[in-house]
Amino acid sequence: MENMTLFYGMLAGYIIAIALLGYLGYRHTRSAEDFMIAGGNVHPFLMALAYGSTFISTSAIVGFGGAAGVYGLSLLWLTVFTILVGVFIAFVFYGRKTRELAHGLGIKTFPEMLGTYFDSSFIRRFSAGLLTVAMPIYAAAVMIGGARFIEESFHISYQLALYGFASIIIVYVFFGGLRGVIYTDAFQSIIMFFGMIIVLGLTYWQLGGVTAAHESLGAMHHLVPEGLRSLGHAGWTSMPVFGTEIWWYVVSTLVLGVGIGVLAQPQLAVRYMTVKSSREIYRAMLVGGIFILCMTGVAFTVGALSNVYFHKTSGMISLSASEIGGAGANVDKIIPLFITQAMPEWVLMLFLLTLLSAAMSTLSGQFHMISTSLAYDLNPAAGENDRQTLIWTRMGTIMGFLLTLIFAFSLPSSIIALATALFFGLCAAVFLPVYTAALYWPKVTKSGAIWSMVGSTMLYLYIVLFVHEKEAALFGICEKLFGVKTLASAPWTYIDPIVIALPFSAAMLVLASLLTQPSTKKAASLITVGERQIR
């Protein structure tokens, strides 16, 4: 960027606003309840924006936008799922009951909610431990997305971009807690919304209008590389060929993995606990839906249309353009390259703030969840002293931050979408059946919940490490132990783990619960106690 004075002015204004909002959150954070659920009295408009901005991150914009540059507009099915499942079903069928259960039991975190409902310290600590280990991988993917864009924009090293980017985030999460996170998320979501709308408009303007852009993209189907065509790629305006490897990757990993996994995201479920009443959740639904439609729809459309731009300007498709100046194709660089080359400088600056906002809003929620899991749910002394608990949760934020940095430096290229889908799929398999049963099925038992959670975790990890080729090759454990990348053969090597692990988890929950039903007298006693707790 040449006009650094303008950028520094925009950045200074952004940082001042974030600092003021973080300070406002700090001023109102005087207890562990304030830190963990923002006092439970957040306005629904703020909750909706915080929910959407926590859900939509650089993973969606850079990672999945880059994936759309490879697989095309088929990723718009993920937009449909994120609105239908991630907003409508999530708010209507999960949000209200989650808030009622959480406030009735007087709990502050997702692991505590499950542990308290099932009267099981094991469930609480198992959930918190799993989140502590797995969430830094997702957080690292988000951090990588922001750092990659800074790297391309300022032509600095990835390491320097990552350190600078990470340093900004940790400060206001450490001091502001969830209230500070929600305030800043709402501000950042407004920047994200207008930034993405401007990028979409200028993309169509660059390519000759909506009709011309999409016609050009459709006419490029013959440019699909043979390697992708042989795996089922049918062009950037078509779904992949049914049943092929790419079809399974797009549908099962990217669409279903994230689209269903959003229901069991602990950092999102906590947002339901921050509003005053169930009615507030319904009021937040429309705002959340519009926001997520804009974020994902724009990212996936721009990602796919970047092929038209690169072909017109350099004779290459997006995947080929991402190889220039690097060691090979890097899907995570497609969106940064397109923005830096196709957009005016002031849009580049605005988009940088958009990405900064997207990453910071999501990472703040992730660090907050890691910190509460470490310092509250895994800490035997948590809750005995409110002030001490608040100190421990802030220390947990630092630990989560360090874990995330380690992963951010360790993960390979083109990892953002895959790491995101991996975490979402794991949450769906382990938490979704138990979470749903806690809200809707009175016959679920503690034993059923434990068997479901532990069994699905073991199965999911087995598939990831030894069966599903993308992750098995990434971690390399299978190859080190057995000398092969995967122990399975097609199609199991490219069918996402969620397709197997989620039904298994649900079946295990139902079967184990039915086999461990308490006696009629004891069941009646438990129901009475549960009703009193919620009241």
Helices of type H across 411-493: 416-440, 446-466, 469-475, 477-482
Read off the pLDDT of each residue in 129-140 and give the average, rounded to a whole number.
89
Query: How many whole angstroms separate alpha carbon 38 and alpha carbon 274?
Result: 6
Residue 192 or 317, more confident: 317
* Residue 347, helix vs strand vs coil: helix
| 45: confidence class by pLDDT, cuts 50, 70, 90 | low
What pLDDT sits at residue 26? 59
State how far the alpha carbon of 96 is from the alpha carbons of 186, 265, 313, 500, in Å.
Answer: 21, 16, 51, 29
Least confident segment among 213-222, 322-331, 342-351: 322-331
Per cent of the chain over pLDDT 70 is: 82
State how far the alpha carbon of 169 is from the alpha carbons of 216, 420, 478, in Å.
Answer: 40, 19, 36
Read off the pLDDT of each residue in 409-426 and give the average, rounded to a whole number.
85
Mean pLDDT for the chain overall: 83
Query: How many whole angstroms separate alpha carbon 249 and alpha carbon 280?
Result: 37
| 2: confidence class by pLDDT, cuts 50, 70, 90 | low
Range(s) within the chain of domains with CATH label 1.20.1730.10: 4-428
Question: Radius of gyration over alpha carbons of the chain, in Å?
Answer: 23
pTM of the entire structure?
Answer: 0.84
Q: One-letter amino acid identity for 424?
A: F
Residue 40 or 252, more confident: 252
| 29: confidence class by pLDDT, cuts 50, 70, 90 | low
Helices of type H across 56-117: 58, 65-71, 76-83, 96-105, 110-117
Query: How many whole angstroms separate alpha carbon 505 and alpha carbon 439?
Result: 16
| 141: confidence class by pLDDT, cuts 50, 70, 90 | confident
Report the CATH number of the 4-428 domain. Answer: 1.20.1730.10
pLDDT in tens, 157-203: 888 888 877 777 666 556 544 555 666 677 777 888 888 899 999 99
pLDDT of residue 454 exceeding 50: yes
pLDDT of residue 71 exceeding 70: yes
Query: How many whole angstroms separate alpha carbon 272 and alpha carbon 286?
Result: 15
**Which tokens go with 75?**
């990723």
pLDDT of residue 396 exceeding 80: no
Least confident segment among 60-64, 139-143, 286-290, 363-367: 363-367
How many other C-beta atoms can be found within 10 angstroms of the C-beta atom of residue 456? 29
DSSP state of 112: H
What pLDDT sits at residue 218? 95
Q: Could you give the angle at the alpha carbon of 172 between the alpha carbons of 167 and 174, nearest 5°?
A: 90
| 150: confidence class by pLDDT, cuts 50, 70, 90 | confident
Read off the pLDDT of each residue in 523-530 and give the average, rounded to a whole number.
48
Query: How many whole angstroms separate alpha carbon 335 and alpha carbon 306?
Result: 8
